[in-house]
Amino acid sequence: MAEEKEKIEENVEIEVEEAEAEEKQEEVVAQEADAEQPSSDSEHEEYSEGVKKRIDRLTYKMREAERREQAALEYAKNIKEENEKLTKNYSEAGSALVTETSGRIKSQLSEAKRALKLAYEEGDSEAMADAQELVAKLSVESDRLSREEAQWKQRQEAQTETEVETPKQPEQPQQAAAPADPRAQKWASENEWFGKDEGMTFTAFSIHRKLIEEEGYNPQSEDYYAEIDSRMRREFPHKFEEEKSGQRKPAQTVAPANRNSKTGRKTVRLTQSQVAIAKKLGVPLEEYAKHVKEA
């Protein structure tokens, strides 16, 4: 019995030891499970932080792109408005100048026709020939200016149709001829040769186009008019010197016309500058000399 008891006790002890081993094993497993839990939480936090940073970066890029796009739109809008303003100023000034010149040419044409009628009534054949030639030349110039005036009108109407703001657009067709620019009128009145001296008038138009189309001058600025005056004085120094001293520079002699039957006609002397202007305009020296004489 004692031996059996010992065996039983041993078995019990063994069983107890085995139970303890299982408990320890369970404890180890539990500890391992507990140890794994903090690692999983840390990884989740790191993942969440990474996602947040990526979202922040994408949001910043989107907002930065929107800011750049808005800045580009504002810049393009400002450039467009500035171009429209310059185009409008150029159109108005050019139209006013053409209108002013057209009026002067038409007035001169009326005077030439009256002179032709008077010469006819008096039987002055030479005066009739001169008047007929002047009427023909002024008629050609009047037609040219009428076409140019119509072109300016078309440009203004086309510009009006493309404007974004159109509250006054229905009234634009009524503005067939833009009102003359007061500054242009003042300049024309200060330069009596304008519209009377054909060579100088053509040159002024040539300078006007170059200043506006090639050099970017504002046609309503004082610099624009000052530059026209300066270049006209360089092209026709004798004209402005005559106003001050009444003296002429030595010049090239040109016969005034082709009619040799009459004698006693005055000789017209052209300066080298006038000869260059006549060639530039494609006007024969004889014709140019006649207008210099009349001026």
Which carries the bigger pLDDT value, residue 258 or residue 47? 47
Task: Show the beta-strand stretches assigned E in the chain.
Answer: 252-254, 268-270
Question: Which residues partner with 252 through β-bridges?
Answer: 270
- Three-class SS of 50-85: HHHHHHHHHHHHHHHHHHHHHHHHHHHHHHHHHHHH
**Average pLDDT over the chain, rounded to an integer:** 70
Which carries the bigger pLDDT value, residue 123 or residue 83? 123
- Is the pLDDT confidence value at 236 over 80? yes
Q: What is the mean pLDDT of residues 130-152?
A: 81
First to last CA, the chain: 161
pLDDT at 273: 73
Q: What is the mean pLDDT of residues 250-268?
A: 50
pTM over 0.75: no
Winning range, highest mean pLDDT, from 23-32, 53-62, 161-170, 217-226: 217-226
- Is the pLDDT confidence value at 83 over 70? no
Q: What is the mean pLDDT of residues 204-228?
A: 88
3-state secondary structure of 212: helix
pLDDT at 266: 63
3-state secondary structure of 252: strand
Give CA separation, 181 vs 153, 194, 200, 205, in Å.
15, 16, 21, 16
pLDDT at 139: 83
- Is the pLDDT confidence value at 102 over 80? no
Q: What is the mean pLDDT of residues 93-117?
A: 79
pLDDT at 57: 80
Which carries the bigger pLDDT value, residue 144 or residue 14? 144
pLDDT at 153: 77
- Is the pLDDT confidence value at 256 over 80? no
- Is the pLDDT confidence value at 86 over 80? no
CA gap 170, 140 in Å, rounded = 34
The model's pLDDT over 195-213, given as tens digits with 9 standing for 90+, comes to 778 788 888 888 888 888 8
- Is the pLDDT confidence value at 154 over 60? yes
Q: Are 289 and 268 in contact, with CB atoms under 8 Å apart?
A: yes
pLDDT at 192: 84
The model's pLDDT over 3-57, given as tens digits with 9 standing for 90+, comes to 444 444 444 444 444 444 444 455 544 444 444 455 566 766 777 777 777 787 8
pLDDT at 7: 47
